[in-house]
Amino acid sequence: MNPRRRRLRRFVPAALLALAAARPAVATTPAELFEGGNSAYEEGRLEQAAAAYEKILGYGIRDPRVHYNLANACFKMGRLGTAILHYEKARRLDPADPDIRDNLEYARGLIRDRVEAPEVPYPIRAIMAVVDPLSIDRMTSVFLAFYLLTGGLVGAIPLAQDPVRRKVLIYCALALGIGAAVAAGGLAYKIHATTAPHAVVMRDKADVLSGPGEDNTVLFTVHEGTLLEVRSRRGGWYQVSLPNALSGWIPAGTVEQV
């Protein structure tokens, strides 16, 4: 551990203690902050609610419910871009939650840009439909279950004396092996979908240029809330692309990475 980090570790709890001592009435634990944010939201004090949720995230607690509630508060305040950013973050952490999915879909319906995604062929679409609502950890468990069972069966084959039993074991291991391979593919897709860098447009309107510099041609314009895939970064510019294959460079300040 480097000395700077050690110092920081010592400092953070001390600072928190000092804060707690100085302002005993102010909620400090994440649970209290969350409760406080929720009651502020219920009373319509949306700015305060958003501040409370942001503070929890500032503690490094990236819980999907915090992102979701923060997104709701931002949505009610009319900050569509921020709302979509946090709905996206919440969905990455908990893709199975129907509330997050619904609100994200509703908020996306209010974006000015409509981007047609290319048609996905059937078998992949079917696998995606199964995989999409699963969290990455759940997908990891599914893969491991298939994988470990296959491994166990493969190990049992040479131990079996009876040729019939051995044949049954070989077929079972083959079937489970195919399952494990599919689960591995699903997990790889999931990891890509969850960790691939994306960014949400935070300005009312942002121009996408042909290169990383103001003097390049404006290729197209995107509006607040549109989700872009980030392909590379150079200086203060992101190379982004849309699902319909449109691609270009956008100033990093106009977007926020998911």
Partner 1 sequence: MRRRAVLMALLGWAAAADSLVAQEVFVRAQVDRSRIAQEDEVILSVEIAAPSFDQAAPPDVSPIQDFEILGGPSLSSRFQWINGRTSSTRTYSYALRPRKIGTLTIPALGLLIQGRTYHTEAVRVEVMAGGPQGSGPAGPGRLGPQRGPARPPSGGARPAGGPGVQLRAEVDTRTAYVGQQITLRVLLDTQTEVLNLGLKEAPTFPGFWAEEIKLPENLDLKRVQRGNEVYSEYTLLKRALFPTSSGTLTIPAMTYQVQVRRRSPDPIESFFFTPTETLTRQTEPLVITVQPLPEASRPAGFSGAVGQFNLSVGADRREARVNDAVGVKVKIAGEGNLNAVNALALPELGDFKRYAPKVSSSVAFQGDRLRSERVWDYVLIPLAPGDQAIPPVTFAYFDPRAGEYRRLSSPAIPIRVARGEETPGGPGIVVSQSDVRPLRQDIRYIKQAPGNLRDRSSFFYRSPGFAALVLLPIAADLGIFAYVRRRDRRHANARQRRERRARSQARRRLRDARRRMSPAGARAFYAEVAQALTEYVADKFDVSAAGLTHERIEELLLARHAPPQVRAAFHRCLEACDYALFAPASSGEGEMQRTLVRAEETLAALERSIAA
Say whether residue 62 binds partner 1 (CB under 8 A).
yes
Name beta bridge partners: 109: none
| Among the listed residues 202, 218, 211, 215, the one whose alpha carbon sits nearest the alpha carbon of residue 253 | 202
User: Does the protein bind partner 1 through residue 158 (CB under 8 A)?
Assistant: yes
If we measure between CA atoms, which residue out of 54, 105, 107 comes closest to residue 79? 107
**Out of 22, 25, 117, 159, the residue judged to bind partner 1 by CB under 8 A:** 159
Number of residues that bind partner 1 (CB under 8 A): 44
Reading the block at residue 197, the tokens are 């860098």
**Tokens 């759940």 belong to which residue?**
138
Under the criterion CB under 8 A, does residue 150 sit at the interface with partner 1?
yes
Site string for partner 1, 38-57 (x = CB under 8 A): x--x--------------x-
CA pair distance 104, 133, nearest whole angstrom? 14
Q: Between 4 and 43, how does the x/- string for binding to partner 1 read (CB under 8 A)?
A: --------------------------xx--xx--x--x--
Please tell me whether residue 237 binds partner 1 under the rule CB under 8 A.
Answer: no
- Please name the helix (run of DSSP H) or strand (run of DSSP E) that holds residue 127, with its range, or none: helix 122-131
Report the residue number, 154 or 246, with the smaller CB distance to partner 1.
Answer: 154
Strand bridging mode 237-241 / 247-251: antiparallel
- Residue among 67 and 251 whose Cβ is closer to partner 1: 67
Kindly identify the residues of this chain, within the stretch 79-118, that bind partner 1 according to CB under 8 A: 93-94, 99, 102-103, 106-107
Distance between CA 189 and CA 128 in Å, rounded?
A: 9
Rounded to a whole number of angstroms, the minimum distance from the CB of residue 236 to partner 1 is: 26
Given candidates 27, 45, 65, 233, which one binds partner 1 under the rule CB under 8 A? 65
C-beta separation of 247 from 241 below 8 A: yes
Q: How many CB atoms lie within 10 A of CB 187?
A: 19
Candidate residues 54, 151, 168, 247; the one interacting with partner 1 per rule CB under 8 A: 151
Cα dist from 89 to 27, 113, 119, 202, 227, whole Å: 25, 20, 25, 15, 12
Nearer to partner 1, 183 or 199 (CB): 183
Considering only residues 161 to 190 of the shown chain, the ones binding partner 1 according to CB under 8 A are: 187
**24: burial class by Cβ within 10 Å (0-12, 13-18, 19+)?**
exposed
Residues that bind partner 1 (CB under 8 A): 30-31, 34-35, 38, 41, 56, 60-66, 68-69, 72-73, 75-76, 93-94, 99, 102-103, 106-107, 136-137, 140-141, 144, 147-148, 150-152, 154-155, 158-159, 187, 191, 194
